[in-house]
Amino acid sequence: MIEYIIGLIAGTPLVTFAKEKVQAVEEDNKLVSYSVIDGEILNLYNNFKATLSIIPKGEGSLIKWTLQEYQKVQCILKLIELI
């Protein structure tokens, strides 16, 4: 598991701690996927998953960071709309 501290940006909710679980590592494809399993970010999201991949480009590389998250607020608003 990975623990890290997230720097704060003005106007964002307080998130100072997150514990992650690595879901997949593909060395050949230079890819790692992980999900947040503990921390304040789960007060904002039902699920928070990310995938980091490194894509060779010319003499360097590109880093692609894909997030898959489901905000709790959106879920609550959709439920209110249904009622």
**Domains, the chain, ranges and CATH?**
2-82 (3.30.530.20)
Return the residue matching tokens 């514990």. Answer: 19
Residue 20: Cβ within 10 Å count: 19
Amino acid at 76: I
The overall pTM is greater than 0.85: no
Task: Write the Ramachandran bin of 46: left for phi over 0, alpha for psi from -120 to 50, otherwise beta.
Answer: alpha
Please say whether the beta carbons of 48 and 36 come within 8 A.
yes
pLDDT digits (tens, 9 = 90+) for 8-64: 455 556 677 889 999 999 999 999 999 999 988 888 788 889 999 999 999 999 999
